[in-house]
A and B are shown apart, each in its own frame.
Chain A
Amino acid sequence: MDQHIAETTGYHSAEWHAHGHHKESFVTKYIFSQDHKTIAKQFLITGIFWAFVGGILSSIFRLQLGFPDMSLEWLRPLLGGWITDAGKLDPEFYLALITMHGTIMVFFVLTAGLSGTFANFLIPLQIGARDMASGFLNMLSYWFFFASSVVMLCSFFLKTGPAAGGWVVYPPLSALPQALQGSGGGMTLWLVAMALFIISSLLGGINYITTIINLRTRGMTFARLPLTIWALLLTAVLGVLSFPVLFSAALLLIFDRSFGTSFYLSDIYIGGEALSNLGGSAILFQHLFWFLGHPEVYIVMLPGLGITSEIISTNSRKPIFGYRAMIGALLAIAILSFVVWAHHMFITGMNPFLGSIFMILTLIIAIPSAVKVFNYLATMWQGNIRFTPGMLFSIGLVSFFISGGLTGIFLGNAALDIPLHDTYFVVAHFHLVMASASFFGMLAGVYHWFPKMFGRMMDAKLGYLHFWLTFVGVYLVFFPMHYIGIAGFPRRYYSWTNFDVFNAFTDLNTFVTVAALAVMGAQLIFLFNFFYSIFRGRVAPPNPWRSNTLEWTTPLHPGHGNWPGAIPVVYRWPYDYSKPGAEEDFIPQYIPFSQTIESNLPHENELIALEEEEEGIVIDESSESH
């Protein structure tokens, strides 16, 4: 079979290395690169940087929650004036920590780091394209994200601190510097950073959609697309439709903050003075925010679901169960995600009738989610499962998706949301179903496609250790939070000792903090494995996971343009694993049915005639060569 790859793609030919590519300077190759693979790595490494920043922020506030009496004096060299004279965390800085933790994790890590990495890396490689539709816009997309990162990072160094009104930045709190220090310069930088981020996200999204629609190789119909690509396509569509709404919400907030308008402000008396703003609606912002905010949850989630569909199928050596149902479920989730936003607002004073409508729509979304879970389980059933680190993280994702998804049925029910809203039950819910699941999708993807990214393997044993510590740790962090939430503990509390009703569970909170620090420590194993393997890992075989998709037909270190020879033609869907009659337990997408007579299904034999007809078509690719 390897022989066949060599013939169709010709990547062993020595002459390819000699010509065809003009010499690139360091700057055009590694910094302002237009190669989708390099841009993907830039997104990934920036994403890893932000993940550690976000993780460290959460470690600091978990110390406050788990060890309220501990002296944090030793953090003074890092935090300076944010440690009070008593050696405690400043309560306002605590709010800044949770705000920036949320913002960074949701947007910079799980949107840019996840979609940015895998959409860029996988779309051209898996659909058989030389690069993105526009390499230049793609490069801009990364650099806007970089600029956004720089601005957001700068806000940590302001005297008044970064934004602190929660990652949802509800006005009036976020609009009034007199209400909260972080709502001064920190909030301004937050808004600027988010505006840049949205531009980055739109440039990327438009590119992904265009590329998937227009640049699929011959034979790569939509019904033969790997589920990763389906998921990334719908993610991009969600982003393109919803991020502009966040942009408008942010813009109106900028107007309210800086130009004296009253879109969100009304009837406010603060700091001993009555503001002149009248007629605005604080709820309007929440509607606009969650119109992005809810699809955003799926922007974060869908790539992970796509990645795991691919990895679970490959490593179970079985076709993904119900390929079409999986696409249908993705589509249903994507569409429904636009009509459920107000379930975040059941108790904001919104008309209860509206709450009823959103409750019905919200619970409908549980159905396609359930279908996805059952299909994953059916894929593993009677499989032949190989536990690669990627597979382990995929199994972890499915488990989180089940455990965290089910609590969504509580919160989507408006009547149950009354006691549960804004308690730790919500924190437990979304950290499992959205945050941890997506993180696991991202890690699964990194382990799985690392050999394609860097031509080397990550160490599997360290991967296993990383997985088990993280997986068990995440459950130990977030599962106890359900109990704390049922007991009614509110979110975003600096301390609970002011209330008799919340003055319990100190031991459980300490336990959660210890588990969280352990999870954080386990990520150092990953960090080491990642960077060590880039330089010193074992050289990867061409197709280490014996996978069907096209990226494994490229050379070990694909150049700009991906395939040195012609782009392979696709003849079949990507999930022909363990087909009865076939010698190997996988048949890659570029193998025509005419070569697999022994394993063809009846309707596939009919396609052979079509294949032969198409052989005659010659495509002139010279106009696209790079």
Chain B
Amino acid sequence: MFEVAIGLGVILVLVILMLLFRVQSLLNVARGSDKKIESTSNRVNGLLMLLFMIAGIVGFFWYSISEFDSYNLPNASEHGVITDRMFWITTVITGVVFILANVALFYFAFRYQYKDSRKALFYPDNHKLEIVWTVIPAIVLTLLVGYGLKVWTQITDDPPEDAEVVEIMGYQFAWKVRYPGKDGLLGGYDYRLIDPVNEFGVDFTDKASLDDFVPREIHVPKGKPVSLKIRARDVLHSVYLPHLRVKMDAVPGMPTRFWFVPTKSTAEMRQETGNPEFNYELACTEICGRGHFSMRLIMVVDEPEDYEAWYNSQETWLSQNPTYLSKVPENLQELAEAATGINIKN
């Protein structure tokens, strides 16, 4: 019954709208107002152009200024400071053009609306003007490109020798990280060695793999360069650390990397944001399937000495999964025993 009432109501409203429409169009014909060009409609449209411009500019400045803190994420990496600065410089330059060009558009629309008494100016070209407004954007863009190139080259340059190496692997739908262990070298891997336990496909015939460890969270030291070695196991993923302004795709079959220097520890960020629960989060930004929106990994930025302590307290992956010791070849078994503290022969 209720649905019928709604249905009837909708039909009634439509009929009324239809009638209104017919009445206005017949009135137009009767008045002959659609033959006039300098009409009320034309003036109303002209005025609305001006009103839209004013309301738009007020809204833009009001929201941009009053909500600045809510859309401006705190920044916690060295290169992030540089890209943020470049972002705001670009915003100021384009913002000026944005306002001027839109103001000109809407103001001209309002100012030069149709008048029977006036004739438009026949003004087909002006070479000087055209050269000016080609050259000025060219110069501004050249400066921006030069600035951008410098920053881009710095950021994508090879990581420093002493960078902490961390391997991160994306898969449907989570991340795994692996650290090189005491020898500072990540062991080799092969995707054909992957199984439900050995998720990285670590190759235990490689000496460097014996002391690698796989923690639950990703830890990095504050103030030291960190080099992320990024890979994916099934489809494309993308490593994204919003606070650190880090983003790089993870591609199956093609390892990628990104290095950065964190500048604020998790504890410091908790203080800065006033949020005792604050954690650095790592997200995925390349569509990867059903769980794309839930690939969350917590990253902890430690003070260097805390990091050192954490690093040294980690158990190697092999000691957590001793069955894989059987994959270690004879000549490396002694080393494996040293790394895991497990006697293989038994």
Contact = CB atoms under 8 A, between A and B. Distances in A.
A436 B256 CA distance: 35
Contacts of B121: 318, 381-383, 578
The interface centre, meaning the residue of B94, B101, B120 with most chain A CB atoms within 10 A of its CB, is B120
Contacts of A385: 46, 108-109, 112-114
Q: Which of the four size classes fits the interface of chain A?
A: 35 or more
Contacts of B123: 318-319, 321, 378, 381-382
Nearest to B191: A267
Interface stretch (A2-10, A223-231, A402-410): A402-410
The interface centre, meaning the residue of A95, A380, A468 with most chain B CB atoms within 10 A of its CB, is A380
Contact of B235 (A172, A491, A538): A172
A359 interface: yes
B182 interface: no
A527 B79 CA distance: 51
Contact of B251 (A282, A377, A398): A282
B87 A419 contact: yes
Contacts of A491: 285, 287
B134 interface: yes
Interface string A345-361: 00111001001100110
A399 B287 contact: no
Given A384-B112, A416-B90, A92 B290 contact: yes
Nearest to B94: A406
B205 interface: no
A231 B60 CA distance: 33
Contact of A418 (B21, B24, B49, B246): B246
Contacts of A206: none
The interface centre, meaning the residue of A91, A318, A415, A460 with most chain B CB atoms within 10 A of its CB, is A415
A410 B87 contact: yes
Contact of B125 (A267, A283, A322, A468): A322
A173 B236 contact: yes
A348 B251 contact: yes
Contacts of A502: 283
A579 B25 contact: no
A274 B83 contact: no
A352 B125 contact: no
Contacts of A492: 287, 292-293
A415 B125 CA distance: 38
B152 A356 contact: yes
Contacts of B233: 268-270
A280 interface: yes
B56 A373 contact: no
B291 A91 contact: yes
Interface stretch (A15-23, A31-39, A493-501): A493-501
B185 to A, nearest CB: 21
A416 B120 contact: no
A624 to B, nearest CB: 34
Interface residues of B, number: 114
A490 B120 contact: no
A538 B292 contact: no
Given A319-B124, A500-B277, A268 B253 contact: yes
Nearest to B96: A406
Contacts of B155: 415, 418
Contacts of B281: 499-501
A347 B247 contact: yes
A272 B37 CA distance: 71
Contact of A490 (B151, B278, B283): B283
A374 B133 contact: yes
Nearest to A490: B285
Interface string A137-154: 000000000000000000
A476 to B, nearest CB: 9
Contacts of A483: 63-64, 67, 71
Contact of B90 (A267, A281, A410): A410
A500 B278 CA distance: 8
Interface in B283-330: 283-294, 296
Contacts of A179: 172, 234-235, 288-289
B62 interface: no
B122 interface: yes
A147 B119 CA distance: 51
B90 to A, nearest CB: 6
A348 B288 CA distance: 14
Top 4 A-B residue pairs of the complex, sorted by shortest distance between their CB atoms: A266-B253, A349-B256, A352-B156, A387-B45
Interface of A: 91-92, 95, 165-166, 170, 172-173, 176, 179-180, 265-270, 272, 274, 278-283, 316-325, 347-349, 352, 355-356, 359-360, 363-364, 366-367, 370-371, 373-378, 380-387, 392, 395, 398-399, 402-403, 406-407, 409-410, 413-416, 418-419, 421-423, 459-462, 464, 468, 471-472, 475, 479-480, 483-484, 486-488, 490-496, 498-502, 504-505, 538, 575, 577-580, 585
Interface of B: 21, 24-25, 28-29, 34, 37, 41-42, 44-46, 48-49, 52, 56, 60, 63-64, 67, 70-73, 80, 82-84, 86-87, 90-91, 94, 97-98, 101-102, 104-106, 108-109, 112-115, 118-126, 129-130, 133-134, 137-138, 141, 144-145, 148-149, 151-153, 155-156, 171-172, 191-192, 194, 196, 201, 230, 233-236, 238, 240, 242-243, 245-249, 251-254, 256, 277-279, 281, 283-294, 296
6 contacts: A317-B119, A385-B113, A416-B87, A468-B48, A487-B71, A493-B292
